[in-house]
C-alpha cells in the first residue's frame, strides 16, 4: 500500500511538473466549456421557441443539458486517454529507469496500480475543472444533482477501463508516440463498434456493439446506475491491469 502511494505521488508529480497536465486540463476546459455553452444555448433556444408558439413543452435541465453534454464528453474522453497513458511505461523503458523499479523491493502490481491510479487522478482533475460550468447551472437553474453524480461516476469508470488498456499498451513499446497512437486506435475502435447495431440486429452484431465502451455510458448519462454497465467497466479495467502485469513480467524474459 505504501509502495503504491510512493509510485502514485511520483507519477502525479511528473504529470504536473511537465506541461502535459496543464495542456490536457486547458484543452479539456475549453472543449467542455464549448459543449456546455452549446448545450445551454440550444436549451434556451428551444425554451424561447416553445414559449413563442405558446406551447407548454416540458423542459428538464438534466434531460436536455446534462445528458447530451456528458454523452459528448464521454466521447471526448477517448481522445484524452492516450495522451495520459502513453508515457507511463514507454518512457521508463526508453530512459532505463524501468531497471530501477524492477530491481527495487517493490512488486509489479504496486508499480502498475500506482501508475494507473495517478493517470486516473489526472483524469479526475480534468472532470473537476468541468464542475466550474455546473456551478453556474446550479446558480441559475435547479438541476437534480443525483443523476449528475451518477453520470460523473460513469465517466470515471469508463476512463478507468480505457486508462487500464492504455497502461497495458504503454508497456509494449519504448516509443511514446507508438503507445499513444495504438491506444488512440483502440479507444476509437471501442467507440465505433457500437455503430454496427445501427443496421444489423443479428446476435453477432449485438455482441460486437456490446463491446463498445460508449454504449455502456448511455445509462449513466441518463442518471441510471445500471450494475450491468458498471460491471462491464470494472471487468474491462481488471482485464487491462491483468494484461499489464503479464506484459511487465514478460519484459524480463524477453529483454
Chain positions contacting other proteins, by CB under 8 A: 2-3, 6-7, 10, 13-14, 17-18, 95-107, 252-253, 255
- Cβ closer to other proteins: 98 or 245? 98
- End-to-end Cα spacing for the chain: 28
Give least dist CB 18 to other proteins, A: 6
- Shortest Å, Cβ 1 to other proteins: 13
As a whole number of angstroms, the distance between CA 10 and CA 148 comes to: 32
Minimum Å gap between C-beta 235 and other proteins is 30
- C-alpha distances (whole Å) from 171 to each of 13, 44, 145 are 20, 47, 39
| C-alpha cell read off for 59 | 423542459
What is the C-alpha separation between 239 and 181, in angstroms, rounded?
Answer: 20
Task: Give me the DSSP letters along 54-81.
Answer: T------HIIIIIHHHHHHHHHHHHHHH
What nine digits make up the cell of 12? 502525479
DSSP 193: G
Closer CB to other proteins, 18 or 235, in the complex: 18
Using the minimum distance from each CB to other proteins, give the nearer residue, 139 or 254.
254
Minimum distance between the CB of residue 183 and other proteins, rounded to whole angstroms? 22
95, exposed or middle or buried, with CB in 10 Å at 0-12, 13-18, 19+? exposed
Question: With respect to other proteins, which residue has the nearer C-beta, 5 or 128?
Answer: 5
Q: How far is the CB of 122 from other proteins (least distance, A)?
A: 15
Residue (56 or 103) nearer to other proteins, CB: 103
Amino acid at each position: 500500500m505504501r509502495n503504491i502511494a510512493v509510485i502514485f505521488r511520483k507519477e502525479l508529480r511528473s504529470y504536473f511538473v511537465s506541461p502535459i497536465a496543464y495542456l490536457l486540463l486547458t484543452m479539456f476546459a475549453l472543449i467542455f466549456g464549448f459543449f456546455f455553452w452549446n448545450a445551454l444555448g440550444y436549451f434556451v433556444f428551444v425554451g424561447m421557441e416553445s414559449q413563442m408558439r405558446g406551447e407548454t413543452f416540458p423542459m428538464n435541465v438534466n434531460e436536455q443539458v446534462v445528458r447530451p453534454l456528458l454523452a459528448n464528453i464521454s466521447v471526448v474522453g477517448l481522445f484524452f486517454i492516450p495522451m495520459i497513458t502513453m508515457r507511463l511505461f514507454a518512457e521508463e523503458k526508453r530512459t532505463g529507469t524501468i531497471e530501477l523499479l524492477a530491481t527495487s523491493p517493490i512488486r509489479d502490481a504496486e508499480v502498475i496500480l500506482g501508475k494507473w491510479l495517478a493517470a486516473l487522478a489526472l483524469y479526475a482533475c480534468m472532470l473537476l475543472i468541468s464542475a466550474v460550468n455546473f456551478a453556474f447551472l446550479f446558480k441559475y437553474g435547479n438541476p437534480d444533482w443525483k443523476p449528475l453524480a451518477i453520470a460523473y461516476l460513469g465517466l470515471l469508470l469508463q476512463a478507468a477501463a480505457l486508462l487500464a488498456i492504455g497502461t497495458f499498451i504503454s508497456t509494449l513499446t519504448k516509443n511514446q508516440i507508438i503507445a499513444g497512437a495504438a491506444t488512440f486506435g483502440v479507444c476509437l475502435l471501442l467507440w465505433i463498434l457500437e455503430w454496427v447495431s445501427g443496421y444489423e440486429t443479428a446476435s453477432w452484431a449485438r455482441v460486437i456493439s456490446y463491446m463498445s465502451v460508449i454504449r455502456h455510458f448511455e445509462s449513466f448519462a441518463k442518471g441510471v446506475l445500471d450494475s450491468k454497465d458498471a460491471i462491464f467497466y470494472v471487468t474491462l479495467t481488471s482485464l487491462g491491469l491483468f494484461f499489464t502485469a503479464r506484459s511487465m513480467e514478460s519484459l524480463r524474459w524477453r529483454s
